[in-house]
């Protein structure tokens, strides 16, 4: 297939200072939880992006000095020349596919505590370090500012030595010293670096000029700049100081990479923002500079991308998450394979890897972060080793991905689903408030399966053990999912909650099936991810009064890791959900429930007509138990293996279910390797004398 002429504009080269991007697809800097901790994994992942057609592939933020130590969070690190080989490997991988490599050096100032190095953090003034830690940054004097400028120059030179093509001056997300100096909130200096905008922008400008002087002969110098902080006059605004800054620096950088900040605004989930959600803020930038402009907005639609270029809104289509969900997005557009694009669902599970200091993962792309250590390529999978017939039972995310990937390997696959549609939990959950884009998990796999001759799909087929045996499959994969518990057992309660008969009790499965309780409703959330908060919204939408009680300090606590927690809590409060945090559920009674303070045990009665318990799930393992109870029957039917995957094995995230299905498909008939199921990156012992 060849590409649609409508998208030709996306494949025009763009000059960026002394270098040229081969097309308009630009992977903006993004964290990945690998960086300094898993450098081979990081380099391989970036190289695959270039292979997938991204003309520019950037690093995450790269620490420039030991006073900018993100530990335990894993970022890039370029403290001295010894770190150059890591980035040289990355640049080499990107260049091998004709991409340009971009590096984002950063000093994070007062936003890092330097837990590992124990250096005193520095900032524009004396100020507490941002996370809740008993550490303060000290105010920088002129010698510190001079040293900081030198660290940035050293980092730029190291980037050049590592053969990078683009070096950044980073002033966004409230994560860089340049932004802290620019911000009126943090910069109260009375010297030439404080006060007027001209003074506050000085450091940003100096780093830009220094970097140009140091490496500008061969490297483009880009800026990443926050044009709005969504906090009105307290922050940068696109019609205020941010606009003035762009006017002041207009043509000084070789490229403007612009966004809204902080990170939770820049990487909003689909629950809160649609594609191109930054457009209203960044649109003006093109009018202020003759240099190319990059913007992001979770772009997955090639029509929208081409439209933005045509309208003169952007010169380059920036992407972090769409390039994670589908590293081959540009190539698929180029080859005319639009339907094959694995569109990001905007869930931010990718972000959670950063917060847990672990390699990145993605709901849509199970190979993300596994490119090096497992050798998984997002598009290529080894051909089948045998002519086995595989029966997959259950078409939720795990079963769908297993069937899709087994089909790609060439296996004959039968996929049986009890319901009258594919998708399992994804079909149900995507109907909840704000989660409609999650259906892309199903739609992508369904489409791929429809293109695969050897995968036969049977709907309305709830299989019994006898029926499984009759199908004479060589391998049986059970992806039958899980159901929510109805007894309150979870993290806080290890025994069923007393009084389960006292009033109607509902589970998330009931609500998703349309069985809503009468209000007022007490929702007890001991799950802590999105479900409790989303169901509280659903109840309010249906006109029920709702009280959300949780043992955690705030609602949907895990969503701090997906950058959503504040938006979720704000939404619930604005919708009139009553929130009782740090409470456990003591018992249910006629007409009410009794909550208990987690710390004192003090009890409080809330009046309600029903309870919704969002605590834990149990695997649907009846079919597995029935099959494995009769090993002789399995043998007689020629079944060589019965394997549980996804929620049927252990309930988890949708990302975990997709990964589980993918892993099964990858490993079928593959001889086990020695030791761990993946390659390790080891910390090397120091060379003698160093």
Question: Of 29, 53, 124, 346, which lies in the binding site for ligand SF4, with binding defined by CB under 6 A?
Answer: 346
Question: Can you give the three-state secondary structure of 310-326, one letter per residue?
Answer: HCCCCCEEEECHHHHHC
Least Å from the CB of residue 661 to ligand ADP: 7
Q: Which residue has the tokens 């045990």?
A: 601
Our finding on whether 653 is near ligand SF4 (CB under 6 A) is no
Residue of 282, 365, 318, 287 lying closest to 104 (CA atoms): 318
Site for ligand SF4 in 362-401 (CB under 6 A): 362-364
> What residues does 549 pair with on adjacent strands?
524, 580
CB of 272 to ligand SF4, least distance (A): 12
Q: Is 350 in the site for ligand SF4 (CB under 6 A)?
A: yes
Q: Nearest approach, Cβ of 249 to ligand SF4 (angstroms)?
A: 31
Strand order, beta sheet including 610-614? 505-506, 610-614, 521-525, 546-550, 578-581
- Say which entry of ligand SF4, ligand ADP, none residue 417 contacts (CB below 5 to 8 A, set by partner kind): ligand ADP
CB of 349 to ligand SF4, least distance (A): 4
Q: How many CB atoms lie within 10 A of CB 573?
A: 12
Catalytic residue among 165, 210, 228, 266: 266
Q: Which is nearer to ligand SF4, 221 or 344 (CB)?
A: 344
Q: 507 — alpha (psi -120 to 50), left (phi > 0) or beta? A: beta
Q: How many residues does the chain have?
A: 690
Partner from ligand ADP, ligand SF4, none contacting 647, C-beta within 5 to 8 A by type: ligand ADP
Q: Confirm whether 31 is a catalytic residue.
A: yes
Contact partners, residue 178, CB within 8 Å, separation at least 6: 169, 170, 171, 203, 204, 207
Least distance in angstroms from the C-beta of 421 to ligand ADP: 8
Q: DSSP character for 517?
A: P
Give φ, ψ of 385 to 5 degrees.
-100, -20
Binding partner at 348 among ligand SF4, ligand ADP, none, C-beta below 5 to 8 Å by kind = ligand SF4
Q: Which residues bind ligand ADP (CB under 6 A)?
A: 393-399, 416-419, 424-425, 461-463, 479-482, 620, 623, 646-648, 657
Angle at 573 between CA 568 and CA 575, to 5 degrees: 95
Half-sphere exposure of 184 (CA within 13 A, CB side): 15
Side by side, the strands of the sheet bearing 455-458 are: 455-458, 412-416, 389-393, 475-478, 641-644
Cis check for the bond before 72: say yes or no (omega within 30 of 0): yes
From the list ligand SF4, ligand ADP, none, pick the one residue 480 interacts with, judged by a Cβ distance below 5 to 8 Å according to partner type.
Answer: ligand ADP
The DSSP H or E segment spanning 658 is helix 654-667
Minimum Å gap between C-beta 404 and ligand SF4 is 16
State the catalytic residue, choosing from 7, 31, 193, 210.
Answer: 31
Which of ligand SF4, ligand ADP, none is residue 405 near (CB under 5 to 8 Å by kind)?
none
Cβ neighbours of 12 (radius 10 Å): 12
| Token pair in block for residue 284 | 């003006």
Residue 342's alpha-carbon distances to 319, 323, 674, in angstroms, are 14, 10, 33
Residue 208 is classified by DSSP as H
Candidates 182, 215, 347, 463; binder of ligand SF4 (CB under 6 A) is: 347
Query: Using CB under 6 A, which residues numbered 225 to 254 contact ligand SF4?
Result: none
Q: Give 647's DSSP letter.
A: G
Q: Which stretch binds ligand SF4 (CB under 6 A): 193-201, 346-354, 422-430, 577-585?
A: 346-354
Q: Which of ligand ADP, ligand SF4, none has residue 398 at its interface (CB below 5 to 8 Å by kind)?
A: ligand ADP
**Token pair for residue 217?**
């002969």
Query: CA 321 to CA 297: how far, in whole Å?
Result: 9
Residue 105 vs 394, nearer CB to ligand ADP: 394
Q: Which residues contact 667 (CB under 8 A, 6 or more apart)?
A: 677
- Partner from ligand SF4, ligand ADP, none contacting 393, C-beta within 5 to 8 A by type: ligand ADP
Q: Say which DSSP state 107 is in.
A: -
CB 622, min distance to ligand ADP, A = 8
Run of H or E residues at 258: strand 255-260
Site string for ligand SF4, 315-344 (x = CB under 6 A): ------x--xx------------------x
Is 186 or 659 the residue whose CB approaches ligand SF4 more closely? 659
Q: Are 397 and 442 in contact (CB under 8 A)?
A: yes
Query: Please, which residue, 350 or 595, has the CB nearer to ligand SF4?
Result: 350
- CB-nearer residue toward ligand ADP: 103 or 657: 657
For residues 507 and 565, which CB has a smaller minimum distance to ligand SF4 in the complex? 565
> Rounded to the nearest whole angstrom, what is the least distance from the CB of residue 637 to ligand ADP in the complex?
16
CA 527 to centroid of chain Cα atoms = 20
# residues contacting ligand SF4 (CB under 6 A) = 13
CB of residue 343 vs ligand SF4: minimum separation in angstroms?
8
Residue 170 annotated in active site:
yes
The helix-helix angle for 84-95 and 142-161 (nearest 10°) equals 40
Using the minimum distance from each CB to ligand ADP, give the nearer residue, 223 or 422: 422
Residue 505's binding partner among ligand SF4, ligand ADP, none (Cβ under 5 to 8 angstroms by kind) is none
Q: Which is nearer to ligand SF4, 265 or 348 (CB)?
A: 348
Q: Residue 321 or residue 544: which is nearer to ligand SF4 going by CB?
A: 321
Active-site entry in 152, 170, 411, 659: 170
Q: Site residues (CB under 6 A) for ligand SF4?
A: 321, 324-325, 344-350, 362-364
The residues assigned a catalytic role are 31, 170, 173, 266
């Amino acid at each position: 297939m060849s590409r649609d002429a409508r998208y030709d504009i996306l494949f025009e080269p763009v000059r960026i200072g002394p270098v040229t991007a081969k097309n308009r697809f630009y992977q903006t800097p993004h964290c990945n939880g690998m960086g300094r901790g898993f450098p081979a994994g990081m380099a391989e992942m970036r190289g695959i992006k270039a292979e997938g057609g991204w003309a520019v592939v950037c690093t995450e933020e790269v620490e420039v000095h030991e006073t900018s130590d993100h530990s335990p969070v894993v970022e890039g690190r370029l403290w001295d020349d010894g770190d150059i080989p890591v980035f040289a490997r990355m640049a080499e991988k990107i260049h091998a596919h004709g991409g340009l490599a971009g590096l984002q050096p950063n000093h994070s100032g007062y936003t890092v505590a330097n837990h590992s190095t124990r250096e005193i953090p520095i900032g524009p003034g004396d100020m507490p370090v941002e996370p809740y830690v008993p550490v303060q940054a000290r105010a920088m004097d002129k010698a510190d500012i001079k040293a900081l400028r030198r660290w940035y120059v050293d980092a730029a030179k190291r980037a050049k030595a590592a053969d990078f093509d683009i070096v950044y001056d980073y002033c966004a997300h409230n994560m860089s010293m340049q932004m802290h100096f620019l911000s009126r909130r943090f910069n109260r200096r009375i010297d030439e670096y404080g006060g007027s905008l001209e003074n506050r922008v000085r450091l940003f400008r100096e780093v830009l000029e220094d970097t140009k002087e140091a490496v500008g002969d061969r490297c483009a110098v880009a800026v990443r700049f926050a044009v709005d902080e969504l906090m009105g006059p307290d922050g940068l605004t696109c019609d205020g100081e941010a606009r003035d800054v762009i006017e002041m620096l207009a043509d000084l950088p070789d490229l403007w990479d612009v966004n809204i900040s902080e990170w939770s605004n820049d990487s909003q989930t689909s629950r809160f923002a649609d594609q191109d959600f930054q457009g209203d803020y960044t649109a003006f930038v093109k009018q202020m500079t003759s240099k190319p402009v990059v913007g992001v907005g979770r772009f997955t639609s090639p029509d929208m991308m081409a439209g933005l270029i045509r309208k003169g809104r952007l010169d380059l289509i920036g992407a972090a998450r769409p390039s994670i969900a589908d590293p081959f997005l540009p190539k698929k557009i180029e080859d005319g394979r639009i339907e094959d694009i694995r569109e990001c669902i905007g869930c931010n599970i990718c972000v959670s890897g950063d917060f847990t200091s672990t390699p990145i993962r993605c709901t849509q792309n199970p190979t993300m972060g596994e490119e090096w250590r497992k050798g998984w390529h997002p598009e290529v999978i080894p051909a089948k080793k045998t002519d086995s017939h595989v029966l997959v039972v259950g078409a939720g995310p795990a079963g769908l991905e297993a069937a899709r990937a087994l089909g790609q390997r060439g296996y004959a696959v039968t996929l049986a689903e009890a319901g009258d549609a594919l998708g399992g939990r994804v079909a149900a959950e995507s109907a909840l408030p704000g989660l409609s884009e999650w259906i892309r998990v199903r739609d992508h796999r369904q489409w791929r399966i429809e293109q695969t001759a050897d995968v036969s799909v049977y709907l309305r087929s709830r299989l019994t053990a006898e029926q499984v045996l009759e199908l004479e499959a060589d391998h049986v994969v059970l992806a039958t999912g899980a159901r929510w518990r109805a007894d309150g057992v979870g993290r806080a309660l290890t025994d069923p909650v007393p009084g389960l008969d006292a009033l109607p009790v509902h589970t998330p499965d009931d609500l998703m099936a349309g069985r809503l309780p009468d209000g007022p409703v007490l929702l007890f959330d001991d799950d802590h991810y999105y479900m409790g908060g989303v169901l509280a919204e659903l109840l309010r939408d249906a006109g029920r009064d709702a009280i959300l009680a949780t043992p955690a300090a705030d609602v949907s606590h895990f969503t701090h890791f997906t950058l959503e927690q504040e938006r979720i809590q704000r939404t619930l409060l604005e919708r009139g959900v009553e929130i009782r945090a740090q409470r456990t559920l003591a018992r249910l009674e006629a007409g009410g429930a009794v909550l208990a303070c987690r710390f004192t045990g003090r009890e409080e009665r809330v009046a309600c007509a029903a309870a919704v318990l969002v605590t834990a799930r149990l695997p649907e393992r009846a079919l597995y138990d029935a099959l494995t109870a009769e090993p002789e029957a399995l043998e007689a039917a020629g079944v060589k293996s019965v394997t549980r995957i996804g929620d049927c094995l252990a309930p988890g995230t949708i990302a975990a279910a997709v990964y589980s299905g993918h892993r099964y498909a990858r490993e079928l008939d593959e001889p086990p390797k020695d030791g761990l199921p993946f390659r390790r990156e080891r910390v090397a012992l120091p060379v003698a004398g160093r």
